[in-house]
Structure 1
Amino acid sequence: MNRRTVIRGLLAAGAFGASSRLWIGCTPTSNIATNPNPTPSSKPLEIGFIYVGPKDDYGYNQSHAEGKATVDKLSGVKIVEEASVPETTAAEETMTNMIKQDGATVLFPTSYGYFNPHSLKIAREFPEVQLFHPNQPYKDEYPKNVGFYFSDLVEPAYLAGIVAALTSKTGKLGFIIPKPIPVVLREANSFALGAQSVKPNIVVQAIVTGDWSLPVKEAEAANSLLDQGADVLTGRVDNMKVIITTAEKRGAFSSGYHINQASLAPKGYLTGVEWNWGKIYSTYVEMVKAGKTLMNGGIPHVVAGGLKEDFCKLSPFGASVSAETKKAVEAAKAKLLDGSLAIFKGELKDNKGNVVIPSGKTYSLQDPQLQKMDWLVEGILGDAGTK
């Protein structure tokens, strides 16, 4: 029986009542009640993972499932998971069931749309349970048992843009955007800026589909971009399979997202932008097992990292990537790692001609200004769709 069906019956019966850059605590320490000597628990740690799509989607959800597999290997841990949970009250039902039926004390609701209002409601109802959310900005008013983690893909997206630009013969790239929210726009802009760093006049055509997984619209968008002359396609949708295979069938190149998708396009796959959730999840779990929590101050409320912290990576290069391109990427990567290359620096204009970063200003990856990005950079044809 589906766990959400079980929980509906229980609810009806009235069963439930009302650092280094690796660890960045954005919450002032004065706002956290600290316990300097947390006591590890001898009981197995029950953890729940929730995915908005299937675990084998060749994309976002599979990346989280692969990260969860890293936690499976740790001792003293029991995992419960559920896939294809909509961003509705169904998520609340799943989380409640994991807590009450399975005994979960740590939850990873992995989709952006679970957070508000669903995870916030569960956090307030179960203050002893810790919820960790990806890619959400922290606010002081949020419950203290909610934490946030950022595996920032801006850097590998920049490098993938270099690969795409140096491979393209037409000077046109295609980027398919699911939802024009800040985290997606940051990565689309970074991809374009990487491309422009080696070919200043290259064009990136963007199409917004409107949701994380719309295979029919994604196929239409991919074909439209190819018809307009783009010869390298990428995107930020949950499942890149349609986009990559469409490019492959039509003799174009592709750059992946979320996981290594080279098997989908043996001829045209260039590289890809990958998460490394396993590093984040295993670190969280070891801290919780040691008795540390968000509530006692042992775990910071914001965890963030990029290439340097091994929170993300670039997929291996495909057969079509030249030696010169590989060399250019490695040079840019070295500068990102040593801090000598800043991706978002002024003067920078959006694609409507407005100055969005003034001359002399540089934003680090976790700067609050980037967390509310609602624009597409100059050189991207398309509308951010946020205004």
Structure 2
Amino acid sequence: MRKLVIIGAAALLAAACSANTAGTTQADPSGPGAASAAPGKDATAVGFIFVGPKDDYGYNQAAYQGSQEVAKAFPDVKVLTAENVPEDDNAARVMNSMIAKGAKIIFATSYGHLDAALKVAAEHPDVAVVQQGNLITGTPPKNAGTFFGTVYEPVYLAGIAAGKATKTNKLGYVYAFPISQTLDNIDAFQLGARSVNPKVQTYTVNTSSWCDPAKQAEAVANLLKQGVDVISQHQDCTATVIKATEAAGKYTVGYHADASSIAPKGWLTGSQWNWGPLYTDIVKTARSGGFTGSKYNGNFRVGYKTGENPFVQSPYGPAVDDETKAQIEKAREELTKSSPFAGPVLDQKGEVRIPEGTIPDYETIEKIDYFVDGVVGTLPKS
């Protein structure tokens, strides 16, 4: 879920290559000029690239865990992984090095990996290349696609827990970039909280980084000074925000992974990835020769209304009472038919963005570019 960030690309690429992808990229005989089999058919190796470290208590850790589920599901398949792969042309080089090692299915797991993923897909028509979180415009190539869960649904439910727990009616949200997925989450968090607490507001701080512990610590301090007593986030590495919030004696709502172990007192709940089943089905589909024309050969999204959302609610902490759990469970059931963004939805200026009686589809929600009423903060210019 990434935005293009080029920081120390050479060093990061070296780190990536140390994770099972070392070696020089070689020309692939199955390139554009060669006859190609069905993308990913009978693959004996699968590659995964991650934009950060696999132990970040967050986005990359969850994706890495999903890759290991693939290894368990297909013991005859070699799983190649690479950490700290930048969102630039270096990503293509790492993917090509995996293909040179025999990978016929590639998972590019960061938002900003899309351009590199499409470049690699064009060069290797017999390789199935799937990208996590972004969207392909126009008709996708026969060997490429994107996939994601509806991240804002469990975030909305976590917002209910936050809205019930706050004493100051001030929630905090530390986020990286103003991409639609981030805005969806912040807005859903506020809407969930407001559904049980009409007075609540969500204060936002932008770090302009997916993982910068110094900026994260500063963001938490800023929010605490404003009287915030529940803090959530949309960052890749989550430990700094959670530890700082716990140290201040405030409540925390997690994201990407279950980090309740580092906030034993203040953890409320959160939302986390369970990528194993989806990753496994993508590999199964490609290996069978059925990738082209499948649901994965496009912009695949799944949520409570359409299937098994890979983004699930995290365990509850000790501060969440039974009444709140019951409210969350009721809301979860309603989301199988409705949406966190069921109208009317107003933006910060009071303008109606989603009319009353309207339940927007997933595609519409992924194009949200505004803060809803009750969110405090100004969107940075991208």
1:108 is aligned to 107
Cα distance in 2 between the residues matched to 1:2 and 1:134: 21
1:288 is aligned to 286
The structure 2 residue matched to 1:351, chosen from 348, 351, 357, is: 348
1:58 is aligned to 57
Q: In the TM superposition, what are the counterparts of 1:62-77 in structure 2 within 5 Å?
A: 62-75=61-74, 76-77=76-77
Q: Do the aligned residues in 2 keep the contact of 1:10 with 1:16 (CA within 8 Å)?
A: no
CA deviation after TM superposition for structure 1 residue 290, in Å: 2.0
- Whichever residue aligns with residue 381 of structure 1, its letter is V
RMSD, aligned CA: 2.4
State the secondary structure of the residue aligned to 2:78. Answer: strand
CA deviation after TM superposition for structure 1 residue 10, in Å: 4.3
- Whichever residue aligns with residue 334 of structure 2, its letter is K
Cα distance in 1 between the residues matched to 2:22 and 2:229: 49
Q: In the TM superposition, what are the counterparts of 1:245-260 in structure 2 within 5 Å?
A: 245-260=243-258
242-251 or 318-327: which moved more? 318-327
Q: Do the aligned residues in 1 keep the contact of 2:345 with 2:352 (CA within 8 Å)?
A: yes
Q: 1:68 to 1:358 in 2, by over 3 A?
A: same
- Would you say 1:146 and 2:177 are equivalent positions? no
2:370 is aligned to 375
Q: Do the aligned residues in 1 keep the contact of 2:39 with 2:291 (CA within 8 Å)?
A: no
Q: Do the aligned residues in 2 keep the contact of 1:151 with 1:312 (CA within 8 Å)?
A: yes
Q: Do the aligned residues in 1 keep the contact of 2:110 with 2:133 (CA within 8 Å)?
A: no
Cα distance in 2 between the residues matched to 1:9 and 1:343: 47
Normalising by structure 2, we get a TM-score of 0.87
2:379 is aligned to 384
Cα distance in 2 between the residues matched to 1:44 and 1:182: 34
Q: Do the aligned residues in 2 keep the contact of 1:135 with 1:150 (CA within 8 Å)?
A: yes
Q: Do the aligned residues in 2 keep the contact of 1:137 with 1:371 (CA within 8 Å)?
A: no
Cα deviation 1:223-279 (Å, max 9, x = unaligned): 110110000000010011011000100100000001111001000001011111111
Cα distance in 2 between the residues matched to 1:316 and 1:274: 10
Q: 1:372 to 1:63 in 2, by over 3 A?
A: same
CA deviation after TM superposition for structure 1 residue 297, in Å: 4.8
Normalising by structure 1, we get a TM-score of 0.86
Cα distance in 1 between the residues matched to 2:137 and 2:316: 39
- Whichever residue aligns with residue 271 of structure 2, its letter is V
Q: 1:360 to 1:386 in 2, by over 3 A?
A: farther
Give 4+ residue runs of structure 1 displaced > 3 Å after superposition. Answer: 1-11, 14-18, 38-41, 296-300
Cα deviation 1:291-331 (Å, max 9, x = unaligned): 2122x658542322224514221111101111211111111
Provide structure 1 residue ranges, at least 5 long, that are not aligned to the other structure: 19-37
Q: In the TM superposition, what are the counterparts of 1:190-229 in structure 2 within 5 Å?
A: 190-229=188-227
Q: In the TM superposition, what are the counterparts of 1:162-177 in structure 2 within 5 Å?
A: 162-177=160-175
Provide structure 2 residue ranges, at least 5 long, that are not aligned to the other structure: 1-13, 32-37
Cα distance in 1 between the residues matched to 2:210 and 2:92: 20
2:3 is aligned to none
Cα distance in 1 between the residues matched to 2:15 and 2:339: 48
2:4 is aligned to none
- Whichever residue aligns with residue 123 of structure 1, its letter is A
- Would you say 1:158 and 2:153 are equivalent positions? no
- Would you say 1:305 and 2:296 are equivalent positions? no
